[in-house]
Amino acid sequence: MQRREWIQCVGAASLGGLLAWRAEASTETAHAELAKLWRRDGGALLVRHAVTESGLGDPPGFALGQCSTQRNLSDAGRQASRAMGAWMKAQQFKPDAVLSSQWCRCQDTARLAFGAFEDWTALNSTFDGQGDPTAQQKALRARLQAMPKGRSEVWVTHQVIMTALTGAYPEMGEGFLVDRQGRLLARGRMAV
């Protein structure tokens, strides 16, 4: 049985029920509606990095900037990242900015899906006592609130960052479309 990934409308926004992340003939209209909503209202699409090699956190000796010391994307994660980029291209939609955590799995997700991206330390993981959760959430909320109406950004990050901002738990490769107040409008997973 083929696994289907989906985006579900969770707020007042009208996305027409369930939306598939990957373009299929029966969901092309739904894809267009998602792109239309994001183009019209803007906001940030928070994406938890794509599927990784097995494990939790990072191995002992982890170091930023040294991918060989980190838990990295699996083949399926790399494929899903490319599929997300293909979906965006098919929608003829290019976000105004793509920002990423400094972890290699996030940077690789951003690079494979969008090509260019900028590192933003506010998106770095706060798992297991890393980072400064309070300061990072403050920076995320400040950027959202300052975002002009209609601006669209992608933020590739980690579960702990997305959960702290929205109160919802994302799976690997799942995205949350949020408005300028951080309210969750829609959520969905990358196709593999």
* Domain at 67, CATH number: 3.40.50.1240
- So what's the pLDDT on residue 10? 37
Domain that holds residue 163: 7-189
How open is the CA angle 89-93-22, to the nearest 5 degrees?
Answer: 50
What value does the CA radius of gyration of the chain take, rounded to a whole number of Å?
16
The residue behind tokens 């990358």 is: 190
Cα(80)–Cα(175) distance, rounded to whole angstroms?
12
> Is 77 within a domain?
yes
How many domains is the chain built from? 1
- So what's the pLDDT on residue 128? 85
Give the number of other CB atoms < 10 A from CB of residue 86.
14
Cα(75)–Cα(79) distance, rounded to whole angstroms?
6
> Is 1 within a domain?
no
- So what's the pLDDT on residue 33? 61
> Is 2 within a domain?
no
> Is 23 within a domain?
yes
Cα(173)–Cα(192) distance, rounded to whole angstroms?
10
pLDDT by residue for the chain (192 residues), tens digit each? Answer: 333 333 433 333 322 222 333 333 334 555 556 667 778 888 899 999 999 998 887 888 889 999 999 999 999 999 999 998 998 888 788 899 999 999 999 999 999 999 999 999 999 999 988 899 999 999 999 999 999 988 999 999 999 999 999 999 999 999 888 988 898 887 777 654
